[in-house]
Amino acid sequence: MKKIIAIFVTSALLSVSAFAKKPKPESERNIWVDCGIGAMLFKDTAWAAVTSNITWDLGTTATFSHMSSENNCQGQTADAARFMLQNYALVEENLIYGEGEHLSALLDIVECDKTSRSEMSQLLKSSLKTNLSGDYEAQTLMQNSVYLHGKLINAVNTKFASSCSAS
């Protein structure tokens, strides 16, 4: 009986918090923070939202959630995150070689024009090298994907704002 009450109270709180959260602009979204179970439980604590999403379901509700946080979990930022997670090893390999169809597809998702692709690829490759020199092997696929996705979206919204788009 206590479990039923706890489930009911949790469901009610999650429903209220899901409706109370105002959608962020596309340029400020992070799929692992703003989507899925983590976003519903920890709307004001980014590290807890990411940890929750990774712990409970390896991030699947974050990358595929449309019901729990639908206004935040659509658009190019979310599409890039899904693509990155589903194709991480191939994107990583393409970055190492400096080109490839998966890297090209990722840059297509964020609508990088042809003139910025080489520089964007170099920036992402540099970010990958930094991650590889750290505790890369101890990190999960999700953690490595979150890291590289963050670097991509940050670059799209800053250095490459005039040549790429995350809307």
pTM of the entire predicted model: 0.63
Percent of the chain with pLDDT over 70: 60
Q: Are 157 and 166 in contact (CB under 8 A)?
A: yes
Q: Which residue has the higher pLDDT, 68 or 160?
A: 160
DSSP state of 75: S
Distance, in Å, from the CA atom of 95 to the CA atom of 105, rounded to the nearest integer, reads 12
Cα 139 to Cα 150: distance, rounded to the nearest angstrom: 15
More confident residue, 64 or 159: 159
Q: Which of 7-16, 86-95, 112-121 has the lowest mean pLDDT?
A: 7-16
What average pLDDT does range 97-124 have in this prediction? Answer: 95
Report pLDDT digits (tens) over 21-62: 444 554 455 666 767 666 666 667 777 777 766 665 555 555
Q: Which region among 95-104, 135-144, 146-155 has the lowest average model confidence (pLDDT)?
A: 135-144
Res. 124 pLDDT band, cuts 50 70 90 = very high
Spatial CB neighbours of 13, under 8 Å, sequence gap ≥ 6: none
C-alpha 30/C-alpha 10 separation (Å) is: 24
The torsion defined by the Cα of 139, 32, 15 and 5, in degrees rounded to 10, comes to 0
CA 148 vs CA 13, 19, 108: distances in Å: 33, 30, 16
pLDDT at position 31 is 63
Task: Give the pLDDT of residue 6.
Answer: 40
Handedness of CA 129, 164, 67, 39 (dihedral sign): positive
Give the pLDDT confidence of 80-102 residue by residue, as tens digits: 888 888 899 999 999 999 999 99
Residue type, 19: F
pLDDT level of residue 74 (50, 70, 90 thresholds): low
- Taking residue 57's Cβ as centre, other Cβ atoms within 10 Å add up to 15
